[in-house]
Amino acid sequence: MDWQTSEDTVPSSVITEANRRQLLGKPPATGAWRDGDPAGARRFAHIGDVPLEAGGVLPKVRIAYETWGELAPDGGNAVLVLHALTGDSHVVGAAGPGHPTAGWWSGIVGPGLAIDTEKFFVVAPNMLGGCQGSTGPSSLAPDGVEWGSRFPFLTIRDQVAAQLRFADAIGIRRFAAVVGGSMGGMHALEWAITAPDRVERLAVLAAPAISSADQIALNSVQVEAVRADPAFAGGDYYDAPDGEGPHRGLALARRMALLNYRSPSELNERFGRSWQSGISPLGGGGVYAVESYLDFHGNKFPRRFDANSYIRLVEAMSSHDVGRDRGGLDAALARVTAECLVVGIDSDRLFPVEEQERLTRLLPRTVHGDHALVIESAYGHDGFLIEDDLVSAALRTLLP
Going by the DSSP 8-state scheme, the letter that residue 281 receives in this structure is: G
From 110, 79, 48, select the one nearest 174 (Cα to Cα): 79
Tens digits of residue pLDDT in 220-270 = 999 999 999 999 999 999 998 777 899 999 999 999 999 999 998 988 898
pTM value? 0.92
Tens digits of residue pLDDT in 120-172 = 999 999 999 999 999 999 999 999 999 999 999 999 999 999 999 999 999 99
∠ CA 328-330-331, nearest 5°, is 70
What sections of the chain are H helices per DSSP?
A: 5-8, 17-22, 156-169, 183-194, 213-227, 247-261, 264-271, 289-300, 307-318, 329-333, 353-362, 383-386, 388-396
Tens digits of residue pLDDT in 331-357 = 999 999 999 999 999 999 999 999 999
- Is there a contact between 197 and 174 (Cβ–Cβ < 8 Å)? yes
- Is there a contact between 92 and 106 (Cβ–Cβ < 8 Å)? yes
Residue 26 confidence (pLDDT): 74
Answer with the residue of higher pLDDT: 294 or 91: 91
Distances (CA, A) of 365 to 196, 204, 316: 13, 13, 27
* Angstrom distance (rounded) from CA 213 to CA 297: 27
Catalytic residues: 182, 348, 381
From 197, 246, 209, 236, select the one nearest 359 (Cα to Cα): 209
Answer with the residue of higher pLDDT: 317 or 277: 317
- Is there a contact between 303 and 243 (Cβ–Cβ < 8 Å)? no
- Is there a contact between 251 and 299 (Cβ–Cβ < 8 Å)? yes
For the chain, domain boundaries: 5-396
Q: Which CATH number fits domain 5-396: 3.40.50.2300, 3.40.50.460, 3.40.50.1820, 3.40.50.300?
A: 3.40.50.1820
